Structure 1
Amino acid sequence: MARCTFLRQVKEIKNWQNVVFLNQTWLNANHTVDCSWTDDAAASTSKVVGKGSRLIICHAGTINGFVKGSLMAFASKTTGDYHEEMHGEKFTEWFTSMLCSLPEPSIIIMDNAHSMQIDKPPAQSQKKTDIVAWLQKNGVDANINMLKAELVLLLKENKPTKIRYVIDEIASEHGHRVIRLPPYHYEYNAIVLVWAQIKGYAARRNTEPPFTTTKMLKILEEACEHVTTGDWEQVVNRTVKLIREDYERDVKIDNILENDLIINVFDDSSDDSENSSMDESD
């Protein structure tokens, strides 16, 4: 349903000049090509061990290129999931700054990563005190003396039907609109194809030590400069084509299911002929 909602919203876009794609990714300091040609006179790409330190990256772009001044990149301090260091507060600060670089009202296509919810309800697994506090805050008659099962039922009955995000409200205040990508459908985000181009460029340039995040940051900035308007136009057009094709496919499938298509497995002429021959033989 999330995919259906997204496709229906996006297919109505008339002017793709003002559509912004944003996403987060990473680059390891040891990111390089897996192998390369060499001869007796020249060394190939230096052998590196492990992934090395990690550079966490966030950027935004349109069919006209990257949004000016919107690149954020910093060295990771942990080896775990990079999403943990790109927390909600940091992402919201970057997002607000990025909005100021948009020349006119735009549509922003993004996923739900790092987006803080407004008045997020507690999970059923949380303590009774947390559930009671949220229920009372939202005008529901609840107290700590109630059983957990009773509180969970009240929580289910009073959860908001629509999730609200902090950055969506910020975008709206600046005259922009956010459209959320459906889960697991990164192919609808054009900047993912740009990341592939940037990582390929970085791998081909990262051939000699030292393999550090400082060096990788310089390569990253250079790689972003080499992404042309033509590159962006190509990936956006490809994404738009995919979105329209997927929506039309869903419509066709829906029509087929609605038309009560019935296939009689006993109507095949070849089977009848074969059965007749077997009967004669018997």
Structure 2
Amino acid sequence: MVSGTAFTISTPAQSYVFERQDLTDWRKRYLRELHVYRQRGYRVVYLDETWVFAGMSQRYDWVDMDVLNNPYKAQENGLTLGPKTPVGRGKRAIVVHCIADDGLIDGAEFIFASNSTDADGDYHREMNAEKFENYIRKIAPLLKNGSDKPAVLVIDNAPCHSRYEEKIPTKSMTGRKMRAWLRKNNIPFLEKLTKKELFNTVVTPLKKADYNRRAVERIALEHGVIILRLPPYHCDLNPIELVWGWIKRQLRDELRSDDKLVAVMAATKFALKN
């Protein structure tokens, strides 16, 4: 059929990038749920973590090329290139906060010194599930802002946000534990079934979303707060990222390369308050 036309069959040289279907489905579901909550008048609050470090200063500066090209002559004249930018990032502090449409939530900031100086900057290793869940207990009463309607807290899927208190049984679970779990959740089954039959006919059809329970969701609901999770790789849908960018620009403008972590943390608190 293509004979006599300008088309031919060939292997295209260029690559194509496709979005994963599960991510597009998650994004659609997230946006639909967010729209419903806003229509109901629920207060939507966004939460995120970032980090700051000792010696935070400008990455770039003006350089006198005469000094750079003639260092010995410059030294004789008492000139230098100025303070050096640190080779690496020093001690770090983790910063957690929440923002709503009327600004940062008063009293929701949480800043603590990290024990790590890993170059990859993975602050989630420091903000573990226990710390995060305690943080949720502290801020949950602040999120509704006196409203009788629930608040919605938008978070990502970091491991520290996702500790399961209970999960659907897996194949590796013993038959005894599997039966105990089914009884606890009032799910009927025949006692004579083998473990394999029990898993295939009773456990497998269950919806994970109905039985896999995370600690954060439970803690939030106890205070009238609904957890809404961002799709993976969608930090651009969290407006607090704009705040982090502004805060870090402020810190780089104001701090020196020899400032200690205590000074950086104090400057961060001041910037968040103002």
Q: TM-score range by the shorter chain?
A: 0.5 to 0.7
In structure 2, the CA distance between the partners of 1:203 and 1:160, relative to structure 1 (3 Å rule), is same
Partner of 1:173: 222
The Cα of 1:166 is off from its aligned counterpart by: 2.2
**1:207-222 to 2 correspondences below 5 Å:** 207-210=256-259, 212-222=260-270
- From 242, 247, 250, give the equivalent of 1:193: 242
Give the partner amino acid of 2:157.
N
When residues 2 and 198 of structure 1 are mapped into structure 2, their CA distance, relative to the original with a 3 A threshold, is same
Change over 3 Å in CA distance of 1:29–1:97 after alignment to 2:
same
Match of 2:133 in 1: 92
The residue number in structure 2 matching 1:77 is: 115
Mark the CA change 1:203 to 1:138 in structure 2 (over 3 Å): closer, same or farther.
farther
Question: Take 1:52 and 1:122, find their aligned partners in 2: how far apart are those partners?
Answer: 44
In 2, the alpha carbon distance for the partners of 1:35 and 1:164 equals 48
Corresponding residue for residue 257 of structure 1: none
SS of equivalent residue, structure 2 residue 164:
coil
Match of 1:133 in 2: 177
Note if contact 1:16-1:63 (Cα within 8 Å) is conserved in structure 2. Answer: no
C-alpha contact 1:99 1:171 (8 A) present in aligned 2: yes
Q: What is the aligned partner in structure 2 of residue 110 from structure 1?
A: 155
Q: What CA distance in whole angstroms lies between the structure 1 residues aligned with 2:190 and 2:83?
A: 65
Letter aligned with residue 28 of structure 1: F
| CA shift for structure 1 position 68 | 1.1
CA displacement 1:31-60 (0-9 Å, x = unmatched): 322111255879655421211111112111
d(CA) in 2 for partners of 1:128, 1:173: 30
CA distance in 2 between counterparts of 1:17 and 1:4 reads 19
Matches within 5 A, 1:36-75: 36-37=61-62, 44=82, 46-75=84-113
Residue of structure 1 in register with 2:52 after alignment: 27
After superposition, the Cα gap between the structure-2 partners of 1:138 and 1:95, relative to the gap in structure 1 and judged at 3 Å, is same
Whether contact under 8 Å (1:33, 1:45) holds in the other structure is no
Question: Unaligned regions of 5+ residues in structure 2, if any?
Answer: 1-24, 68-78
Q: How many residues align?
A: 219
Calculate the TM-score normalised by the size of structure 2. 0.67
Q: Report Cα offsets for 1:136-161 as digits up to 9, x if no partner.
A: 32338799xx78x7787575444634
Q: How does 1:130-279 map to 2 (within 5 A)?
A: 133-134=177-178, 136-139=180-183, 153=200, 156-158=204-206, 160-162=208-210, 163-210=212-259, 212-226=260-274
Partners of 1:199 and 1:132 in 2: how far apart?
A: 54
Which AA in structure 2 matches 1:78?
S
Change (3 A) 1:49 1:168: same
Q: 1:157 to 1:194 in 2, by over 3 A?
A: same
**Identity in percent:** 29
Q: For each residue in 1:73-110, what CA deviation from the matched residue of structure 2 results, as whole angstroms up to 9, or x when unmatched? A: 11111345321221111101101111122323322111
CA distance in 2 between counterparts of 1:169 and 1:209 reads 44
Deviations 1:3-54 (A, max 9, x none): 1110111123137782211111111223322111255879655421211111
CA contact (8 A) 1:92 1:115 kept: no
Aligned partner of 2:3 in structure 1 is none
Q: What residue is the counterpart of 1:14 in the other structure?
A: 39
Counterparts of 1:202 and 1:183 in 2: how far apart (Å)?
29
Conserved in 1, the CA contact under 8 Å of 2:48 and 2:155?
yes
Judged with a 3 Å threshold, the aligned counterparts in structure 2 of structure 1 residues 157 and 203 are, in CA distance, closer, same or farther, namely same
**Take 1:6 and 1:63, find their aligned partners in 2: how far apart are those partners?**
18
TM-score, L = length of structure 1 = 0.66
Shift of 1:206: 2.1
